[in-house]
Amino acid sequence: MRGTTASPDTPHAEPPRGALPVHRLEVRLPDGVPFAVGSFDSIGPMSRAAFPHRHTFYEFVHVTRGTGTHVVDLARWELRPPHLGLILPGQVHHWEDTRDLDGTVVLFTPEFLLDHPGDRELLRRLGEHPWLRLDPDEHARTARLMAELTEEYGRVDAGFATVLRSLLHVLLVRTARLGDRTGGRRRPPPPGRHAAVAEEFARLAARTGADAARSVRECAERIGVTPGYLTEAVRTALGRTPAELLREARAQEAQRLLARTDLSVRQVAARTGFEDPAYFCRFFRREVGMSPGDFRKHHDRRVPSIEAGPGAA
């Protein structure tokens, strides 16, 4: 994925006009590993940012202490540690009114994952249940694994990147087990080719902004399959059609922008691929159950946008 990492001396670019801030993962030099682990303090102030922002990478957070609220998109979780959470690339999140926040943060880009069948499907599934309360045994096991990751990351011995990938895989599998406990029974694994196509489709559907895919045909062309095969593969792997998932992704992005920015409805429509604001409003009402204006009134936690000035339409 392009643009997910930067060297520590790379200047921070201003976000596009009207866009939410985007946090890229700084890679450690000279090894350049797109991975980081540490405490909230050692990772830096963005790890506990109080303003809505996006990531270009995955983030696990193991919260061991603190009060306040963690907000991901429109979901809010009051902190009652210990917790284990996951933030997906493209999601909007921030921390509200936190005090004494402590724990371990794990950051990694998609390309750092082991080439292990099913890992990205586990991440996608975890995204449906991203915030878990841990019992004492689960907390102790998670703390031991976080300590191993932190120690290995700090030593930089020969082969340390391979060990980090392996430990990350263990963290992912164990967290998915906890998510299954919360979310119910998992679907049986789909055939290999179907799974690979569905995984690539899920990545396309999750993209935001100008790089987002808008139609099933466009996704099929990017992946290199026919629209019919894409529909079959995605339905087999995910239990829903690509068209349904694309509509859901566009509606979710519109909700993020309406709730977290001062962009006008016309600007939100344009950023989610609608040339006609009236058609966008009909789409939004059908998908969400209320108009964009009513949604904004009910979820108004906006941050100032440099685009939405007095002349904004």
CATH number of the CATH domain containing 235: 1.10.10.60
Check: CB of residue 266 under 8 Å from CB of residue 306: no
Domain end call among 183, 213, 247: 183
- For 223-265, the DSSP string reads HTS-HHHHHHHHHHHHSS-HHHHHHHHHHHHHHHHHHH----H
- Same domain flag for 237 and 255: yes
Total length of the chain: 313
pLDDT, tens digit, 9 for 90 and up, residues 169-187: 999 999 988 876 655 444 5
Question: Which residues, 6+ apart, have CB-to-CB distance to 125 below 8 Å?
Answer: 176, 179, 183, 186
**Count of domains in the chain?**
2
pLDDT of residue 29: 56
The pTM of this model reads 0.70
- Same domain flag for 158 and 272: no
- Same domain flag for 164 and 198: no
- Same domain flag for 202 and 170: no
How far apart CA 38 and CA 12 sit, in angstroms, is 22
- Same domain flag for 164 and 277: no
Please check whether residue 256 lies inside any domain of the structure.
yes
pLDDT of residue 307: 32
pLDDT of residue 19: 64
Please check whether residue 308 lies inside any domain of the structure.
no
Q: Which residues of the chain have pLDDT under 50?
A: 1-3, 6-13, 184-186, 303-313
**Residue 168: which domain range?**
5-183
pLDDT of residue 1: 31
